[in-house]
Each structure stands twice: as structure tokens, then as C-alpha cells.
Structure 1
């Protein structure tokens, strides 16, 4: 369990959506209790914290029960496959030279692999649904946290010191979501908290969404908490600098505008003023106790008990590992790996040949020149396409990847035999990426 905040938040956000199922209160709650339930949630400061946590959790959780247990946030789609971070990984990686998925064809992973997707490809839509769901949660929080409503509900005094930061964080999450709509889909419908619930949103151009994200995030650089002054799992001003660096870096592609100088300015602020220094050991970024890693600016929290999901790092660990590997290297999930994703030769060949092999007497790669070369090679071919072997379901074609491990930096499992779900937090923003953005901005002419 990472923090008291997220334990409390997970309980609050579940109660927010499930209270109508608690039939023991029928004497006091009517069956049609949506409005009453909303008032109950917002009647306490803890309720507001729970809804803010739902804004964060919507980017990595998939429903109300945890672990794809049903009652998903988005009806009509596969709860596990459609998790935002998992869907984003498919869109950003499945059509590159980095990774290959041997399964998931019914959802569209093979269409991405073969570069022949179309509007009917399911997996293309999942990020879209999740992003707009998160946007709506943020809008809901902002509507209900207006000063007048806080005073009417008698919670203003308890919340007045922190509420400006809560609202800034909700606005940041929303701005991030719109930046990804701009990136992945170009144009999209726009709605904010000033629009009545049920309003049909206006379709905005990519330029309009870009302009909104820039304006909103620039303002948030003074409204969010100072660097390192927020509690773990919540954003501060460094996240706004990071998002601006990313948006400005893409401005020429998105809207035909050269903003490399601004991209460099904000990337440099992350590096020099952010107080998130590079991790002393690269491997620590991807472990179950990475909540103590200095480099992670914005983590999406996962916890084997309180924040279960088949998206996020649970997906990254299990897709790239399978059960038999656990006898060679502790994965932290025991025999529960799926093993349906493998790295491509192009990625493996980025490393020295001696670093490409997995050695049983050195499962962490301590003796490698480059410790980022975290591949499992026993029983696997280096090639992902092997003549005479069927591609689908042949999970030994291609090396496995053991970069993500649900174990601590002292190389211990959370429980013997591993946990069912991951406790590795997903690093949404980290300082190493700021260095890369700064370098690219300079190469592209930043002054």
C-alpha cells in the first residue's frame, strides 16, 4: 500500500458509484437516488477527495470493482483491454519496431502490427472513450466544487485551503486528456464545466484544442503546488512544465507552428528546477517500490490490494512475461504471466550483442555494460517471425522483456509466489523524458 491518500480515495470513489446498490439504507434512500447520492458524496471533505481521486484513477483503473471485476466505467467494451494506459500502449507501440503482439487480433492489435487498421478496429477507439470519460469526471468535480456549492454544503471552511489546488489538479488532468485527443485523433468534441450536463459538445479543430491546452496549462504553472510540495500521486507545477514541453515540441506537427524554443524552455525547467533528479539506477523506475524513485514526476498509482487493473503495469508485466520464466527470475506475479508480447529484433539490436542474452547467474543484468538490456532469451528465438512456425500463439518467437518487475529494489517479492495484480506505479512523466525533449528541441533549432 503506497499512501494513506490513495487508500482513502479508492474507498471514496467506489462508494460514489456503488452507494445506490447498498439496499440496507432503503428506509432513508429512495430507489431513484442519483441526485441524493451525489449530495451524499459532496457532503463531506472526504467525498471531494474521493471524486478527485476518481479523476486521477480514470487514467489507469477500468471500473468500480477492481481487477476487471465488472461494473466497468465504459459500458459495451472489454474492461481490461480498454484501460487507458493499455490502449495507449497499443496505439503508440504496436505499430513500431519495438514490440509485437502474438494475440489480441479480435481487438485489433494485429491490424496495428500490419499497419492496416480502419474505423472498425476496436482498439483505436478505446483511448478515445477513456479520455473523454476522464474529461467528464474532471468537469463534474469542477462544477461541484464551486465556492457557492461548498458553502451551501457546509464544507467550505474545511476545504478552502486545499480546494484551489484540487481544482487546479482537475484542470491539469483535463488539459492532459485534451492534449492526447489532439495527439492521437487531431480534432474532437469540446466540453468543460461551464456547459450544462447533456449539452451536445461542439467539434473543435486540432488548432482550437491545441490553443486550449497551451492556454490552460500555462495558467496552471502558477496555480498548482510548488515542486515536491504535493503528496505522492498528485501533480505539481513540474507536471505542467513537462506537459507544455511535450505540447510545444509537437506544435509543428500538430498545427504547423515552430515552438521549439518554448519546448526547450520548459524541458530545461523540469531538469533544473523540478527537484526530480534522474534515478541512480534505471531499473528502480520500473519496480514495485518505485514510489521512492526520485525521477518520477507524475505516477499513476497501482496497488495489488487497493488499485487493481489489467491496464497499466499489470499489463506491461504480464504481457511481456510468462509463467515458466518465474523459475529463472522473480517477476512478482508468479505463474500469472500471459507472455503474448515480445520485443522485436530492431530493439534488441540497439544493445551490444553480449548484453542481449539472459544469464541465469545474473538475472538482473548487474554485469552488463548497459543495464537497460533486460531481455529473457532462454527457450526463445531472437526473431519474431520464424520460417515454418505459425506467428500467432507462438509466444517463443521473439525475446521476452523483464524491464517491469513486481518486486522491490532489494529484489524481494511483495508476497511469496507473487501477487495477482501489480503494485508498480506507472511513470506518466519522468525526468529522463525531459532530457530527451530538450535534446530534440535543440536539434530542431531551439534558441
Structure 2
């Protein structure tokens, strides 16, 4: 799909990869039982190196060997729940003021209430998905060493390309390790391609060790990534590595107790000057053709979805269907119906101060109440019309049935870099004037003019501006933790702490527990404090 074919022979990838170590007790298929080719047979074809790289990218979008369900990567939970972006979204958004969900699926409402436990199946699924992606990346790196390539007689242009492929694989692995750090405090084992391929128990890392590993990896691998804006979409380039490293530094005080805001600023300057550009229409960033309508020029790292070739009940299929319900016009969203689940809270609506000029104020209010008295009632809470499966020309996505969605999901985009720079400028007292310029660039796109420009800013404004610009894109929990507002009582919103008006929650919930299943599988792991 798109430019890099993410719908490849997943069975071939399974044949190549022997999953080892034990971060978690994943139930995985035995490739020897289904007549798949050997590793050497697979890599006898020059194209296999790019195809298996595509599988690493597909690890962020697909959920199994078939799709949308039936042959999952991870067993023990609904396959759609185990999808990378959906799992990340649940943990990053439902725990905050930006989203509630009306369903009674297992323990899903515990995220609103901040009452989850180490037995939570959604937390375990996300933990397992991160682990699975890392294992895939590790095996790809084992199969592309100089020793392996020499033995296979790989030379010339392909050899040069594989060096870039390896850097991309290391970047994707770093993303998953960053998610381990951000969500779980990094307290898992650090396993790389240099570790044994037989079963072993990795020792638990500290947050500092995980931070240092990711930082070192990104510093090293960037050399072999392609220059900004020269790789095919949605493959990553040097700007993606700079952005991830800036994210690491932006949250360094949370992760390690040592602030690195000043160190983030030159990285963000490199990103901002790398050739990416704000797309002129905010709503087109979240449409079915956002890989080619100009929005791709803002996406520094995006996860590609295709309604025909990456079928999943997670990802943007979830983000289009789940918020659609009530009297919302189904045809506007390019799918065959809504799932009537996700809305937002009055605390988030208040960030817009009733502004109708701001294009990011994309609420659906007809038949919806502002306040939530019953989370299970879709009519309680405004709906949000952000992600859609129609093109900028109004054409429905590629799946004629309207089940699955073409819209890509941007993990990093340029507007985020602008707002990160402004925040770092405020926190360090350095270059605040440029930070303000960047904020106003973002707001001018939202307002369509300079009507929304501001002449000053503070940290509370930046936190709110990040919510306005980046809501439902998987950033909110991380932002609230950094600002000291996810837990405790300094900021309350409806149903935080399991009360209608919100109540304080304990600070240990700034990170999630290591799943009970992971602790049972690896006795070297110790539970996060408080759980």
C-alpha cells in the first residue's frame, strides 16, 4: 500500500523470525508446522530485504497473518484490541480529559477512572504488542549483519540500501522502547540483536538505562538514515530520528529526573528546517488521502493504513467508526456505520472558549449533551469529527463495503515540533520570540488568518494549545504527566477518579503496571511501585 508495500507475505516473515527472550509470555505460532520456507530460502531473493522491512512497518498497523482477524500475532484478546495504534490510543487518551468510551468491554472504563490493575487485558495487549515489534526488529537486524550478507554474496547497491534498512529497523525498535519507557517506566529487559536467540530471561532495566539506550541508538543510527524528505513515504528519515530524540529529551525530567529541554531545542530546529511543511488545511491531515493530498509533507513519521490491504479493527478504522453515532451523518465519514462509543469531556471542550473560528474545534453537538451523566450513553458528551475515510475531494475510501479505512495515522508531525520548541523555549527562557512565531504558525493554519495570533504565552497556554492541535493523536497522557496534571488534584475533569466531577488520583498512576502475565513469565521483573 501507499509507496512501501505493507501487505506482504506475513507468513514468510514468520518463517524468518525466531522469537526469543521473555519480556512477556506471547503465544506465537510455530512456523515449522505450516510448511514455510527456511530463512535462507527467504533471503535468497534480493527483494526479501525490503519486503521484511515492510513487515516491521506493518507491525504498527496489522494484527496478524491474515487480517482483520483469525490468525493473530497475540492471542488471549480480541485481535482488534491488540493493534498497536489502538492500544496506544486507549492508554494515551482514555486516561485523560480528551476521551471517554461508552462500551463495557472488559475493564475499558477503568482507564477513565484511573483504577486499572496489573491484570488489565488491554494493558497486557499493548505491552505484548511493543514486545512483539521489538522481537521482529531484532530478528531483522540479525539477518542483515555483515556476516550474513557476506555469506549470501550481497554486494553493490543492495548492500548500500540494506544499511539504510537496518537504520530504519533500529528506529522502529527505538519507538517501541520509547513507548515502554513512557508507558511503563522503561522497567523491562533491553533485548537486542546481539542477545541469544534461545530462550533467556533479560534483567530488568532502570528508566535511566532505557533512556540511555534509546538516546545512544538514535544518535548512532541517524547516520545511515536517508536525508530528510528523500525517502519514500511512509519510511522514516533523519528528521524522524531527530524528532524522537527531541521527544525523549522533552520528557527527560519525567523519565530520569534530569531536565533536557535545552538539549531538545537544536534537535527541533533541525526538524523544523528539514523541509517538512504545515499543510494548509487542518482537516485534510485526517482524511483517506492524507498520504498524497499534501498532508504527507507534514507527517514526519506516519503509520500507513489501507482499507483493502491492511484490514484491522484497530488503527484509524477504530478512530473513524468508534466516535460515530447518534445523529451524526454516516456518509460524511466514508464508512458503513458507527460504533457509538468515543466522545469527549466538557473539560476538553472548554479549551476552545466557544470559538467557532478555530478549525480544530470539530465537535458534533446535535443530540449530544456537553456534560456526561452516563458514560455508557453515547449522547452524553460531545462527539468529535476528526478522522474520516473520505478523500479531500469527498470520495469514499477504497473498501467498497465501508468496513476498513485508508486514513494514515501520524505519530510525529511538524506542528508538534513547533509546539515542542515553544514549550522548551519557555522552560529554558531561551529564544521565546521564535517559539511564539512557531505557535502562531500553528494557530494561523487553524484560524485561516492571523485572527488567532497571540502576543504572549505561558506553559498553561502551551498545554492547552497542544490539546487543541493534537487531540486524539496519542499525546495527551504524556503531556499531562510532564505538566504534573494527569494524577493528583491540580487538574480535574469528569470521571477522573471515578466521580462525575473528577477527584484526585495517586501519582503512581503516572505509569502503568507491568502486566501480571509478564511478571509470571520473567521472575527478574519487579512490579512498578504502587501496584
Q: When the two structures are superposed, what TM-score results if normalisation uses the length of structure 2? A: 0.74
Displacement of 1:86: 0.8
Q: Which runs of 5+ in 2 are unaligned?
A: 17-30, 431-531
Displacement of 1:354: 5.9
Paired with 1:229 and 1:416, the residues of 2 have a C-alpha distance of 30
- Give the SS at the match of 2:332: coil
Displacement of 1:210: 0.3
Displacement of 1:422: 0.7
Q: Deviations over 1:286-313 (max 9, x none)?
A: 0111112121111111000111212211
Displacement of 1:415: 5.7
1:333 corresponding residue in structure 2: 335
Structure with the greater relative contact order (CA < 8 A, sep ≥ 6): 1 or 2? 2
Q: Deviations over 1:287-342 (max 9, x none)?
A: 11111212111111100011121221111111111385235x5101122x212111
- Give the SS at the match of 2:224: coil
Matches within 5 A, 1:318-397: 318-322=321-325, 325-327=328-330, 330-335=332-337, 337-353=338-354, 355=356, 369-385=357-373, 390-392=374-376, 394-397=377-380
User: Is the 1:331–1:418 contact (alpha carbons within 8 Å) kept by the matching residues of 2?
Assistant: no
1:276 corresponding residue in structure 2: 276
Paired with 2:148 and 2:175, the residues of 1 have a C-alpha distance of 26
2:191 is equivalent to residue 191 of structure 1: yes
Paired with 2:167 and 2:80, the residues of 1 have a C-alpha distance of 30
1:178 corresponding residue in structure 2: 177
Paired with 2:399 and 2:232, the residues of 1 have a C-alpha distance of 30
User: Is the 2:60–2:83 contact (alpha carbons within 8 Å) kept by the matching residues of 1?
Assistant: yes
- Give the SS at the match of 1:190: coil
Displacement of 1:72: 0.7
2:223 is equivalent to residue 222 of structure 1: yes
Paired with 1:130 and 1:240, the residues of 2 have a C-alpha distance of 21
1:446/1:312 Cα in 2 relative to 1: closer, same or farther (>3 Å)? farther
User: Is the 1:332–1:417 contact (alpha carbons within 8 Å) kept by the matching residues of 2?
Assistant: no
Displacement of 1:443: 1.4
2:7 is equivalent to residue 10 of structure 1: yes
Q: Deviations over 1:213-267 (max 9, x none)?
A: 1111011222211001111111000000100110001111110112111111111
- Give the SS at the match of 1:347: helix
Structure 1 vs Structure 2 CA RMSD: 2.2
Paired with 2:60 and 2:141, the residues of 1 have a C-alpha distance of 18
1:423 corresponding residue in structure 2: 406
1:158/1:438 Cα in 2 relative to 1: closer, same or farther (>3 Å)? closer
How many residues get paired?
412
Paired with 1:306 and 1:131, the residues of 2 have a C-alpha distance of 22
Paired with 1:285 and 1:90, the residues of 2 have a C-alpha distance of 21
1:18/1:423 Cα in 2 relative to 1: closer, same or farther (>3 Å)? farther
2:48 is equivalent to residue 47 of structure 1: yes
Paired with 1:64 and 1:17, the residues of 2 have a C-alpha distance of 9
2:497 corresponding residue in structure 1: none
Paired with 2:200 and 2:34, the residues of 1 have a C-alpha distance of 22
User: Is the 2:11–2:36 contact (alpha carbons within 8 Å) kept by the matching residues of 1?
Assistant: no
Paired with 2:355 and 2:421, the residues of 1 have a C-alpha distance of 31
